[in-house]
Amino acid sequence: MIQMKKNRKTLKAIVYILLTGYSLLTLFPFVWSLSTSFKTTREITAGGTFLPEDWSFQGYQTIFSSQFPTWMMNSLVVGLAVTFLNLVFNTMAGYALARIPFKGRQLIFSFLLLLIMIPSQVTMIPLYIIVSDLGLVNTRSSLILTTMINITYIFMMRQFFTNFPREIEEAATVDGLSRFGTFFRIVLPNMKAALATQTVFIFMGIWNEFMKPLLFISSPEKYMLTQGLNALSKQYMNATKWDVIMAGAIISVIPILILYILLNKYFIRANDQTAGIK
């Protein structure tokens, strides 16, 4: 018995050591980027130490004197709009597929599962043709309208609603609440974990999206952040301005980190599909 306990402790220690090592390995590129953003161009090209010898903010000054703030605002506006619309449509569609009986419900659900397997690259040209016919090329609306629904999160929300106790909804109906009242006043408040998970992944997805902005947006003043960073890298790479490139990369990560920190407690609870149900 004592030997078994020792073996468990040893195994636990090994697992923690491996996880700690993996975490440090994963964190290293970010720390390196952060350190590089505060170095001078001469120090970067010369090699030098891991930490800056002479701390410099020239990279950040260059970033903010360019169109970078405009690109960041464009991404923020599109990201918030897409996240909000996805939360509304994905959640309501998931609830309908889980709770509202109607003819062809299972067929529609099976068809949606089939669509998940289609690579997004296959639909890019048809999407561009539709957006062009609507006269929305080179506008924010082209990005918002083509990403405001995500089948993956419709499926996820359906699974959450499927596991939500029907007794709670039936009690709300007995108390006189309509279907919409039950959904907005009873069900949604108990789905914070699922909504937080959806918020983090959707915002992160659109914030890091590169192909669709590249396809739809052509004017530099309307660039999304990913396009702007790509333009900066091409502009400064030959001049070895890695401090500017790294400064832009570090700033672009900040909104994602803030969002995750704010929703972290709900995000963790999402592992339990019945989270929040008392």
Q: What is the 3-state secondary structure (H, E, C) of 182-230?
A: HHHHHHHHHCHHHHHHHHHHHHHHHHCCCHHHHHHCCCHHHCCHHHHHH
Mean pLDDT value of segment 13-29 = 90
65-69, 237-241, 243-247, 272-276: range with lowest mean pLDDT: 272-276
pLDDT tens-digit profile of 183-221? 888 888 888 888 988 999 999 999 999 999 999 999 989
CA distance 198 to 268: 12
pLDDT band at residue 150 using 50, 70 and 90 as cut-offs: very high
Phi/psi of residue 217, nearest 5 degrees: -105, 130
Report whether pLDDT(49) > 90.
no
pLDDT at 133: 93
Q: What is the set of domains in the chain, with CATH numbers?
A: 66-269 (1.10.3720.10)
Report whether pLDDT(262) > 90.
no
The contacts of residue 199 (CB under 8 Å, 6+ apart) are: 83, 87, 259, 263
The contacts of residue 93 (CB under 8 Å, 6+ apart) are: 149, 154, 157, 158
Mean pLDDT of the chain: 85
47-56, 58-67, 81-90, 130-139: range with lowest mean pLDDT: 47-56
pTM of the model: 0.83
CA distance 64 to 72: 11
